[in-house]
């Protein structure tokens, strides 16, 4: 079995496992309560979840289940980030559910891709690289970049390219390792810096 087939089988298994988990997070969270609790978050991520600084991720329109998972893992230390660990330290489980519901209810703003990088970025996103065993990103993140909320696969369309590059490189190096079944790490470990840059730029303009 070649590398691409192995990667594809692993992806399908992970998708099935993730899909079996009930997606109740959005229903449990109170978006109105989350808005009232979001003042501190807004200083970095924007009042409506559309951050002004490209190093800070946009949260608007992100799946509530994915957001909740990240907050829980920042708090537990599974996902390492000193700033976020300090921010979530005092949050209750309900606080995290409410904040997740609020940001999921907002509309993400779409940026623009570098015309010189669109062709390569789109090729990787939609087609992957069979020779290297890299599956198409659309398998998990959907054709329009809105992700897969029930499986807790994040929306990537419209996200700042700078932030996306940082996260892909963190997965590639193993610095970030909170991906289910090492799905992201096993995928991006085969991507070059140029491919990551092109992919991130393409995603910033995807809607």
- Whether 137 has a binding-site annotation, put simply, is yes
- Whether 183 has a binding-site annotation, put simply, is no
What is the Cα–Cα distance from 25 to 8, expressed in whole angstroms? 28
- Whether 84 has a binding-site annotation, put simply, is yes
Burial 50-61 (b: 16+ CB within 10 A, else e): bbeebebbbbbb
Q: Using CB atoms within 10 Å of the CB of residue 139, give its burial: 0 to 12 exposed, 13 to 18 middle, 19+ buried.
A: middle
- Whether 44 has a binding-site annotation, put simply, is yes
Known binding-site residues equal 41, 44-45, 84, 137, 140-141, 184
Known binding-site residues for heme c equal 41, 44-45, 84, 137, 140-141, 184
């Amino acid at each position: 079995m070649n590398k691409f087939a192995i990667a594809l089988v692993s992806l399908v298994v992970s998708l099935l496992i993730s899909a079996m988990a009930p997606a109740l997070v959005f229903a449990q969270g109170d978006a109105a309560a989350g808005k009232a609790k979001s003042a501190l978050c807004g200083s970095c991520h924007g009042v409506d979840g559309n951050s002004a600084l490209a190093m800070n991720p946009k949260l608007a329109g992100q799946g509530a289940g994915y957001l909740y998972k990240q907050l829980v893992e920042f708090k537990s230390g599974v996902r390492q980030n000193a700033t976020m660990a300090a921010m979530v330290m005092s949050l209750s489980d309900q606080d995290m559910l409410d904040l997740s519901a609020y940001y999921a209810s907002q509309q993400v703003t779409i940026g623009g891709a570098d015309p010189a990088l669109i062709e390569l970025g789109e090729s990787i996103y939609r087609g992957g690289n069979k020779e290297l065993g890299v599956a198409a990103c659309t398998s998990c993140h959907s054709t329009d970049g809105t992700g897969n909320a029930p499986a807790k696969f994040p929306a990537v369309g419209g996200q700042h390219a700078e932030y996306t590059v940082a996260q892909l490189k963190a997965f590639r190096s193993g610095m970030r390792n909170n991906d289910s079944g090492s799905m992201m790490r096993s995928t991006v470990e085969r991507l070059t810096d140029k491919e990551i840059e092109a992919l991130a730029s393409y995603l910033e303009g995807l809607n």
